[in-house]
Structure 1
Amino acid sequence: MSAVVTGRAIAVAAVRAASPGGLRFTERQLYYETCRVLSPGSALLRRLPGTPAPVLRLRAFTRALDARGRETVPGLLPPPAAPSARPLAGAGEPSEPDLYDYGLPRLLLCQDRAVAGMLLANHVHLEAACPVLAVTDALPLDPRLLGALERAGGAVVHVLHDASPAGVALPAAVRAALGPVPGVRVVSLGLVPRHAAALRLPTGRGPEPGPAGLAGRPAALRPREADWLASGRFAEVAAVPPARLVRTVLRLTRGPRPPRDTLWNGLRGLRGTGFMTWPAA
């Protein structure tokens, strides 16, 4: 595929990734959106379950993006910064000393630091009243944050992860890292292989994980899904279209609640256009 064609596809993909409402998106999300632009008949096939291979190699996309210039792509986020060292206990206290005195009903942990940054850039933490953190940055959880979850009573730690051996095992790993905290549940938001198939997400293939690599898989995983993972297949959260990802995360983290007037009502309505939730099968 020529660099000219790829460059034009990137331009179209950037517009799609930012819609509706000028969403911010990561380079990986732009890559997958470019694959969708270049996939012939993808609109006709999207209702048929499946996990197609990407039509564009990541290296070819990166070369085309380098040639175009990342700064010329509206909405493209910079790569996430490396995690900073945690301050010692008592150092770097928040400007509001009673910040941790309140109950915290929900927390979102993301396997992918770039996805966490994308959700923050699109104000998901404000709309859902839910802190958004990368797992690698959050664990072990700050004792004050853990205490805020416990004080809320019935708090939920949501885990957003890839459909991969490491991803599907992540909720159990988070649960083990938190320890026995009364009233705090750990819930997976996905992805799992059946989500990837229903959404027709582009997938990759890596080394087969072997029995040890699948030891932490959830019991609810279907046999076909376990076989899919055992073959080395994986699908990334970044492959979900940005608007769909934002809307789904908002719906699943907020849960059902009565409508009320807030500063973000207009933004929520704008992002709800053409949006779907995770498929059930």
Structure 2
Amino acid sequence: MKSSLRWLALGLALISAPISALINGQFDAADRYAAVVVIWSDATRRCSATKIAPDTLLTAAHCVVDVKTGALAPAFQAAGTLHVGTTPEATPATTLSVTVRATQLPPAFADGFQRLYTYQQSLIAEYRARYSGDALAQRIRRVQAEARITDRFPDAALVQLATPTPMIPMQPLSLAPLPAGAAVILVGYGCERVRDWQRPDRHSRPARRHWGQSEVIRVDAVNFYTFGSERRAGSATLCPGDSGGPVLLNNQVVGVHGTVWGLSGRDTARSNMSVNLHALADWLSSFQPSAFSHQ
């Protein structure tokens, strides 16, 4: 692995990346953030999510789409099956199986994702005309790995469940504007150390819920950015598996983890990028208006 990665989508859809806990975070042994769960869509694809309404999980859009097909991944389509871990430490064998009723994407992300897929398919068609065998396969993998749209389009998704989950509490959302300088909590089931990402047994290792503190650097119309540990020592730093987890302000969800910038083999990063839920207020309120606060 390169010693420093410019950016990294933290889930398992746009590029591969699972494991087990937030860098510079504390293990949630007291189950303080029980509304935050880990979701497996298959044995290797893992993300974090938050229950925000009786039948709804909030996660990252890149966790639910399949870049190879330009559609929702099978597990997130109607009647698909997800495995949801509800404890501070979970494995696929200890999860709750739930049936998906529907998965909703912000229109801007859905449009951007389809345009990306169309562009990728045109490149792949050109490569098929010029290459074959390993040379072709390598180029296709490269095209599909370079699928970064999360800095331009809102990387959020609502997973609506047909299976009741009364054992999982709900976390309230705030759609109020988020100020720069706000002290926030990051929660997720991502890796504690970057090297865990390369372990051959990473898919069988338990996912552990961690939480940590950071501060908002700046906010734009799509995302906001919090300090990573390279820019501010001790700040929570996202790691693969944290995708889809929440950013909390005053115990309310204000953002969704999407991308980490400058993640290095020294377990540091410059900043974390999360979806700005204030910018999605109309879209979110159209599905679960009673769940959200605009104050």
Task: State the TM bucket, normalised to the shorter chain.
Answer: under 0.3
**What TM-score does the superposition give when structure 1 sets the normalisation length?**
0.24
The structure with the greater share of residues assigned to helix is: 1
**What TM-score does the superposition give when structure 2 sets the normalisation length?**
0.23
Rg larger in structure = 1
Higher relative contact order (CA 8 A, sep 6+): 2
